[in-house]
Amino acid sequence: MDKLNIIVICGSTRENAASANVSQYLLETLTTKGVNAGLLDLHKANIPLWDEHAKTDEKIKERLNQADGFVFAIPEWHGMVPPAVKNLFYYFNKCFSHKPAFLIGVSAGTGGRYPLTEMRSSTYKNSFINYIPVSCVIDKVNDTFNDKGEFIAETDYIARRLNEGLSFLQEYAKGLRHVRQSDIFEKSEFANGM
């Protein structure tokens, strides 16, 4: 079986974001697990707000199309997902189709839960993305990762949870390749969910 391609999506558009530190750690961990891992940092990608005449970035589209799965490191902003994360689905909905994703909520305080429920309730219908049941919340993120993406927490609890989530993601990614190679994926009659 070919190596898995997994893209880590950093959902913050802030410079020096804590989610970028988490994403760096995830990228390195996936690489040590033998995965072809890449990063899409929504701060650096600077994708304009979608409108009907917006031009799609073909390089990003190609990268997302090549991916077997995704990890989303999403900060909680005003109890929500940042707009840039939702924006991604307006441009690239079909790149996520029948692929697994591991959701990670990030907070400098004691939040980080709302991005998980929002993504699970509002982004899958037309994209057909598969959020795996395992997710993770990293609260007090600045006590957990430094600005080099190094794990600095006093206990290894979050590192173990992330490791387990990434391992599950790898297995789901292998399984869902089978779905995307099936007849029903080719023939599928309904482009959007109900």
Ligand X SMILES: Cc1cc2nc3c(=O)[nH]c(=O)nc-3n(C[C@H](O)[C@H](O)[C@H](O)COP(=O)(O)O)c2cc1C
Pairing status of strand 130-138 against strand 5-10: unpaired
Compare residues 22 and 30 and give the one whose CB is closer to ligand X.
Answer: 22
Query: Residue 103, interface with ligand X (CB under 6 A)?
Result: no
Residues β-bridged to residue 70:
7, 101
Residue with token string 């031009």: 55
Residue 76 binding ligand X, by CB under 6 A: yes
Using the contact rule CB under 6 A, the part of the chain among 10-18, 34-42, 52-60, 63-71 near ligand X is: 10-18
31 CB contacts (<8 Å, ≥6 apart)? 37
CA 173 to chain centre: 13
Selected binder of ligand X within 44, 49, 56, 79 (CB under 6 A):
79
For the CA atoms of 169, 74, 86, 77, what is the dihedral angle to 10 degrees?
160
Q: Which of 25, 31, 29, 90 is nearest to 56 (CA)?
A: 90
Written as six digits, the tokens of 97 are 């189709």
Q: Is 68 in the site for ligand X (CB under 6 A)?
A: no
The nearest distance, CB 182 to ligand X, in angstroms, is 37
Selected binder of ligand X within 106, 119, 137, 158 (CB under 6 A): 106
Among residues 176, 193, 65, the alpha carbon closest in space to that of 130 is found at 176
Among 57, 111, 159, 168, interactor with ligand X by CB under 6 A: 111
Based on CB atoms, which residue is closest to ligand X, 68 or 76? Answer: 76
- Among 25, 70, 72, 77, indicate the residue that binds ligand X (CB under 6 A): 77
Of residues 134 through 173, those in contact with ligand X by CB under 6 A are 141
Residue 105 as a binder of ligand X (CB under 6 A): the answer is no
Strands 36-41 and 100-106: unpaired
Contact positions toward ligand X, by CB under 6 A? 12, 14, 17-19, 75-79, 106-109, 111-112, 141
